[in-house]
Amino acid sequence: MADLRGHLALVTGASSGLGHRFVQVLAAHGAKVAVAARRADRLSALVEAVEAKNGVARAFAFDARDGAAPDALMEEVAEAMGVPTLLINNAGIHRPGKAHRNTAEDFDDTMAVNLRTPWRLSQLCAERWIAAGTQGAIVNVASMLAFRVGAGVSTYATSKAALQHMTASHALEWARHGVRVNALCPGYIRTEINEAFWETEQGQAELKRLPRRRVGDPEALDTALLFLTDPRSHFVNGASIVVDDAQSWAI
């Protein structure tokens, strides 16, 4: 298993869902974790849970829709905990709807959270790593929809496809500096945000289309996350790892 002692991980969108799980997994494998999200009450509880298991975590208020937030967050984290060596760009939003019904606000908000914020945070980390001559790793949480689209998810799929392409571009440019950039592309994962959907008639119909008639739990991503953050994966760069139980071939 990965040994992340000596690393500081910054995880966005940490208050629930995948980010909540990522924080616990990274902390359990020795990383100190800066947890960032909008819901401060959720972050406090998460920090307490990490500390109860002898881990180290600290909460930072962060609104990924705010264009100035990444710079402010990086300064706060650097001052309080040091410069991150691992960046998990997990914060994301989804505004479902038919392509001809999505509004300009839907588009702008989705791109701000799913693409602009990961771009800026990646840039801020890479600048610091390159200037200091140190190595670092970035994991961008994309989606199986970066590769295969479905109906009603046009704006979201577009943002994730762009994130996947940005991942490869950053990996190419920064590889010579010892900076690794990879994408983790989940399939359908059950979280508190979508849990009710899977019990609806539409959700049940969607389940029947999937190869194994199931969705994953956040724990299903543990090994892929650890693989991408493990220093021993130093030759894995510019990759997009799809973890979807073959769902993308059915949508």
What is the structure's pLDDT at 17?
Answer: 93
pTM of the model: 0.96
Q: C-alpha distances in angstroms, 55 versus 47, 51, 206, 212, 220? A: 9, 5, 39, 36, 22
* Predicted pLDDT at 103: 95
> Out of 22, 62, 156, 188, which one is annotated catalytic?
156
Ramachandran sector of residue 30 (left: φ over 0; alpha: ψ -120 to 50; beta: rest): left
Residue 109: name the closest of 67, 72, 73, 149 by CA: 67
SS3 annotation, the chain: CCCCCCCEEEEECCCCHHHHHHHHHHHHCCCEEEEEECCHHHHHHHHHHHHHCCCCEEEEECCCCCCCHHHHHHHHHHHHCCCCCEEEECCCCCCCCCCCCCCHHHHHHHHHHHHHHHHHHHHHHHHHHHHHCCCEEEEEECCHHHCCCCCCCHHHHHHHHHHHHHHHHHHHHHHHHCEEEEEEEECCECCCCCCCHHHCHHHHHHHHHCCCCCCECHHHHHHHHHHHHCHHHCCCCCCEEEECCCHHHCC
156 counts as catalytic: yes
pLDDT, position 246: 96
The per-residue pLDDT for 73 is: 98
Domains of the chain with bracketed CATH: 8-249 (3.40.50.720)
pLDDT the model gives residue 96:
85
Q: What distance in Å separates the CA atoms of residue 119 and residue 94, rounded to the nearest whole number?
A: 18
Using alpha carbons, list the distances in angstroms from residue 179 to 162, 171, 213, 225, 228. 20, 7, 38, 17, 12
pLDDT in tens, the chain (251 residues): 799 999 999 999 999 999 999 999 999 999 999 999 998 889 999 999 999 999 999 999 999 999 999 999 999 999 999 999 999 999 999 988 899 999 999 999 999 999 999 999 999 999 999 999 999 999 999 999 999 888 889 999 999 999 999 999 999 999 999 999 999 999 999 998 888 889 999 899 999 999 999 999 999 999 999 999 999 999 999 999 999 999 999 87
Please choose, from the candidates 59, 93, 86, the residue with its C-alpha nearest in 3D space to the C-alpha of residue 73: 59
Q: Which pLDDT value is given to residue 229? A: 98
**Residue 45 pLDDT:** 94
